[in-house]
Structure 1
């Protein structure tokens, strides 16, 4: 189950809080459904909404029925409901009451709730009265998880806070966004300049401290459209002091150099975030991914990335005049992506090319080069160290989560290679079994079953993930390792991220747009259910749906 608040202000300015609940279950047979949400919804809701509601509700009801009849086998995530909280207070007590009520209405046993994924908000994670603490009153074995993608975003955003140059860079990027987004005339002029220079017509993006990948997107757009930005600001600066001030900042060597540095570093964090947003990611993959990313980032302290190398190629010094000559090809998405892939896939340091650089636009005169030419030597190591430290601190699991590592094939295999397999994990697995005993685990049987499981992992599952081990044990060894399988299931069910919940809110916002504000929550629930769990447009039986709709009552449309 995952959650996130979604704030709406109605015409009466009454605040409504909504939570998107997700049900994670271990069904008995794999069944996956894929959906083109926009096409499906367009086909169903093309007529006036009031006339289409019966069909929406029938489809949603039919999906509920099919869900009950289906016999499934692997871990799946399913949309459960979208709860509207219309009371003035949205504290932990109110949230928990709504969640518990909804789970019981759906016929779900609250005591079997093993994990809650959150975005780390204080109302969720408060030590005394947070949502997780209150839910433990109903399910003592409950484990709260801070979303891995949120942790990654926070680690990246906070790494620059103690570096003044990076803080100033972020402020400048924000000023660029607000300057152009606040005026349609300025945006149109910028687009015209981009087209005249044969550059991609891109809008500048806003940086959000908690929105995943926002900084990487902002920096990449700046890099690809930099010549147009400079010309637009220079032209606007003749009459606008704000444009003149921004132009003075972006034409400095500091701004150009930091942009190149971030083009090297941010794709590593972007890839890490995308991995953390993977559906049904399990805990066994977190530490290896974080450690490998940290090691790759630390390599930048020893060898320059490809974009810092390019910076040295693009800078031309002629006496006291320093220009930045960037070739036109650097604005192409394919060229940018190729450089990013080279950094990530084959990073071992780079050597400057001896090939002549192709012609580009007129060089940009760089300001304060002599004073700022060593900027990357001073901030690159510090920035990399801050990111690595933040990642390690935020992903340094403790307590129960740390003990779950003894179930992971990677660690079991490592203990076997060291000759420590017999003693490995025995104490930790006993603690885990005691914690989840309420889920029907016979704790005294777990140590013996764990010893057998370790041998099975070494022989057959040494390269598998925890979720893959869970599936294989459940299908082949249920009679031999019943208690250990329940324990592995509990650990596998823990939601590592809240990405599916975030996607659910994107679905909600597509459905309940500014043109459809009168949709009530029941209709939104039905439409979200169809969008999230319904069949694809190719597999949807419209004739059958029409028949169900016609048979529901006498329709004037079909009366002769």
Structure 2
């Protein structure tokens, strides 16, 4: 019997306790079955990797998806629970790749700022050099001039340093300046809702075909024509030009912009550009049915003039051109005739003017200038020709032409007619001109020419009445001509009407110029522009998010506000309207007007580019590559002036080499490292010895692990690594070699060595430290900089940051052994007392 156990008659066996089921559990399970879980947007707070696909109704991890991690969060998970999100966030692979993606962009990260930070003096030197490089490229100077300018700066006492002062260095600086300028253009193109392009081609003196591209954007009523690129196609066929355009936009990462935002194209009348079946414009319109193709108005004006001349008096015009062009070459190629002409001007006390070329270009201002020069120097030129006609057959022929009354009267008529066409041509060449303004000015010029048909030209009347010009008799063969220019003007106006047809798109764009708007109080105001807005809204409906009725309502409101607020529209500009009416509910119609202004009327800017190209790529620089030519033209045509140029962005871009590493300033190439380490043993190696560069070639990466068997003197005694064996420090020697081997395997570069040095020096455990928090904060910053640097510049080396930090305990262990050995020698009296190192040891022991 068990002691203490008693038996009672009333005792009954115990009943088994029944476990009650929790009603809360059942209700929770039932709730979960009925509950419809959805993705919660607040889960994305502080989780930039979490993405929700609305169409597929799944959430996934963007970082793990890029790294092809096998997980439900890679293919897409519909398990919408916060616990699932947190579980993935704490998973091994997500943490591994989070280090890579959570760091800031190299340009904005702490590591980049720390590594790009230069001493102010060094930065100032770079500013001087980059400003010089910009000025050289801006004004067509040779890269060799950079050496001379740098030498001159040194003589004047300007401190520019000894590095990057050759022509190779300035070539790379120019490349970076052009890259920054080109990036600004590309950014504007990406921000613009639509754009147009103009192009033109030319063959340089080496026989290479070149095509240059300009783009036009319009934002907020502000029109900008910007140079984009110059390249060499395989041929001038439309298909090869289209392929060149595609390659250019692809190289600039603008393919999507090129495909979706192009609304206008303008070029000259060449068949490969404007051909109605296989021209470049037709190829561009195949994927863009809305594309507006424009034949350059300035080129059309020249063709109109030629058409009118040919149908009016072609023979007399040919005589005039023969005289003007012949005089130019006579005095240009004959020094004798040129000297005789100068003597003729001197004898008549006239200001000297030399005949200019006509026919070299198609531009009317050049023809007008040649006629003006002939009229100003008529007396001296005719006197010289008549004097030289006795022994020079060419001079005799030109003397007969310049004394012919029919030729002189026709030249005077041409001067009056071309003066108006020249003004129109110069107006059409204005930067930022709209298509509507161009047609408005063309109509005004036609009206002036029609008024001249019934008016006699006074200078021609005087010649016909006196049969002299500037006091010198003229010879008239046959009947005298009429003082009117009715026939010539009638033919000219007809040719202009044929060359400048009013298409639907031209009529629609006329609302983009305030000069075409009706006056206040006109009965046509309510209906003005409604037809044009309807046509444009239907043609470009893919660029707008509103329907036609809303667009017409906004147009009516815009007209009412403009007529109410602005009494005079002569000086009114669209940027002013955009600024003051931005909040009046007319955004869509203002955007439509931006689209109208985006259509380029001319390709004159491309012609001017070739003039700049000839100054840049001359015979002395005939072997210049197209890429270099493109960089120089980008700086000349698109960068800011010398006074406004800011080199900061170009310097930051230049600081990064093509391999992604940072340039090292103040670098001096040295002979073997052993010679450079022949300094006092107690002095630390200066990091700046390793952190430098010379020239412009890619810098060799100097590794801190390249440690040779060096000799150093300490108190008159030579020390080598072998001396450690004699001193009983063989273990330290082995540790050093093991550390060197590991650092060599990790390929530790100078920047990482610099961070390690800081981490060793920034020790918060030093006794007597007053501001421990500041040291700890600095140590955290260096740690962060080192981590971001390893991730950004060595993404292929996994966990390099951790491996680099593992070297710190090894370095500290070697230092501790050396410190104990040194202190032991000091106590035995084998080392002098009066040294800074011994005093530091005493201070630490205390």
Alpha-carbon offset, residue 555 of structure 1: 6.6
CA 1:159/1:401 → structure 2, altered by over 3 Å: closer, same or farther?
same
Take 2:624 and 2:178, find their aligned partners in 1: how far apart are those partners? 16
1:285 matched to 2:437? The reply is yes
Take 1:267 and 1:510, find their aligned partners in 2: how far apart are those partners? 29
1:102 matched to 2:243? The reply is no
Aligned residue in 2 for 1:3:
none
Residue 159 of structure 1: SS of its match in structure 2?
helix
Take 1:397 and 1:554, find their aligned partners in 2: how far apart are those partners? 63
The aligned runs of 1:328-347 (5 Å cut-off) are none
Aligned residue in 1 for 2:610:
505
Contiguous gaps of at least 5 residues in structure 2: 1-133, 148-166, 192-218, 656-661, 669-691, 695-846
Aligned residue in 2 for 1:376:
483
Task: Encode CA deviations 1:348-384: one digit per residue, 9 max, x unaligned.
Answer: xxxxxxxxxxxxxxx4231126x3433434xx11112
CA 1:464/1:540 → structure 2, altered by over 3 Å: closer, same or farther?
same
Take 1:80 and 1:539, find their aligned partners in 2: how far apart are those partners? 21
Task: Encode CA deviations 1:19-46: one digit per residue, 9 max, x unaligned.
Answer: xxxxxxxxxxxxxxxx999864449762
Contact 2:389 2:396 in 1 (8 A): yes
Counterpart selection for 1:47 from 133, 139, 146: 146
Counterpart selection for 1:60 from 178, 188, 191: 178
Residue 430 of structure 1: SS of its match in structure 2?
helix
What is the number of residues matched between the two proteins? 476
Aligned residue in 2 for 1:83:
231
Alpha-carbon offset, residue 59 of structure 1: 1.2
1:210 matched to 2:365? The reply is no
Aligned residue in 2 for 1:269:
421
Residue 620 of structure 2: SS of its match in structure 1?
coil
Contact 2:140 2:615 in 1 (8 A): no
Alpha-carbon offset, residue 437 of structure 1: 1.6
CA 1:438/1:462 → structure 2, altered by over 3 Å: closer, same or farther?
farther
1:364 matched to 2:472? The reply is yes
Take 2:540 and 2:340, find their aligned partners in 1: how far apart are those partners? 62
Aligned residue in 1 for 2:645:
540
Take 1:37 and 1:489, find their aligned partners in 2: how far apart are those partners? 37
Take 2:647 and 2:544, find their aligned partners in 1: how far apart are those partners? 44
CA 1:40/1:176 → structure 2, altered by over 3 Å: closer, same or farther?
closer
Aligned residue in 1 for 2:294:
145
TM-score w.r.t. the length of structure 1 is 0.76
Take 2:566 and 2:292, find their aligned partners in 1: how far apart are those partners? 26
Task: Encode CA deviations 1:493-544: one digit per residue, 9 max, x unaligned.
Answer: 0001112222222221111112111111111111111111222122335799
CA 1:465/1:120 → structure 2, altered by over 3 Å: closer, same or farther?
farther
Contact 1:433 1:441 in 2 (8 A): no
Task: Encode CA deviations 1:303-326: one digit per residue, 9 max, x unaligned.
Answer: 3345335546xx64xxxxx543x2
Take 2:283 and 2:501, find their aligned partners in 1: how far apart are those partners? 25
Contact 1:254 1:375 in 2 (8 A): no
Residue 136 of structure 1: SS of its match in structure 2?
helix
Contact 2:667 2:693 in 1 (8 A): yes
Aligned residue in 1 for 2:303:
154
Contact 2:268 2:295 in 1 (8 A): yes
Take 1:37 and 1:499, find their aligned partners in 2: how far apart are those partners? 26
Take 2:460 and 2:647, find their aligned partners in 1: how far apart are those partners? 56
Residue 171 of structure 2: SS of its match in structure 1?
helix
Take 1:547 and 1:433, find their aligned partners in 2: how far apart are those partners? 45
Contact 1:412 1:457 in 2 (8 A): no
Take 1:281 and 1:446, find their aligned partners in 2: how far apart are those partners? 25
CA 1:548/1:428 → structure 2, altered by over 3 Å: closer, same or farther?
closer
The aligned runs of 1:448-467 (5 Å cut-off) are 448-460=553-565, 464=569
Alpha-carbon offset, residue 159 of structure 1: 1.8
1:521 matched to 2:521? The reply is no
Identify which range, 540-549 or 393-402, moves more after superposition: 540-549
Take 2:571 and 2:280, find their aligned partners in 1: how far apart are those partners? 28
Contact 2:275 2:282 in 1 (8 A): yes
Take 2:446 and 2:499, find their aligned partners in 1: how far apart are those partners? 13
The aligned runs of 1:312-327 (5 Å cut-off) are 316=466, 322-324=467-469, 326=470
Take 1:466 and 1:434, find their aligned partners in 2: how far apart are those partners? 31
Take 2:168 and 2:325, find their aligned partners in 1: how far apart are those partners? 43
Aligned residue in 1 for 2:836:
none
CA 1:545/1:520 → structure 2, altered by over 3 Å: closer, same or farther?
same
CA 1:521/1:464 → structure 2, altered by over 3 Å: closer, same or farther?
farther
Identify which range, 64-73 or 109-118, moves more after superposition: 64-73
Counterpart selection for 1:171 from 322, 326, 332: 322
Contact 1:434 1:443 in 2 (8 A): no
CA 1:278/1:368 → structure 2, altered by over 3 Å: closer, same or farther?
same
Alpha-carbon offset, residue 244 of structure 1: 1.7
Contact 2:321 2:358 in 1 (8 A): no
Aligned residue in 2 for 1:425:
529
Aligned residue in 1 for 2:542:
438
Take 1:184 and 1:547, find their aligned partners in 2: how far apart are those partners? 55
Take 1:323 and 1:309, find their aligned partners in 2: how far apart are those partners? 11
Alpha-carbon offset, residue 492 of structure 1: 0.7
Contact 1:253 1:367 in 2 (8 A): yes
TM-score w.r.t. the length of structure 2 is 0.52
Counterpart selection for 1:127 from 247, 266, 276: 276
Alpha-carbon offset, residue 299 of structure 1: 3.0
Alpha-carbon offset, residue 249 of structure 1: 1.6
CA 1:418/1:196 → structure 2, altered by over 3 Å: closer, same or farther?
same
Residue 232 of structure 1: SS of its match in structure 2?
helix
Identify which range, 422-431 or 547-556, moves more after superposition: 547-556
Task: Encode CA deviations 1:367-418: one digit per residue, 9 max, x unaligned.
Answer: 126x3433434xx11112222222233233212222222454444425x744
Alpha-carbon offset, residue 96 of structure 1: 0.9
Take 1:533 and 1:93, find their aligned partners in 2: how far apart are those partners? 28
1:241 matched to 2:241? The reply is no
Take 1:549 and 1:128, find their aligned partners in 2: how far apart are those partners? 47
Take 1:396 and 1:306, find their aligned partners in 2: how far apart are those partners? 34
CA 1:172/1:202 → structure 2, altered by over 3 Å: closer, same or farther?
closer
Q: Cα RMSD between the aligned structures?
A: 3.3
Take 1:209 and 1:556, find their aligned partners in 2: how far apart are those partners? 53
CA 1:128/1:275 → structure 2, altered by over 3 Å: closer, same or farther?
same
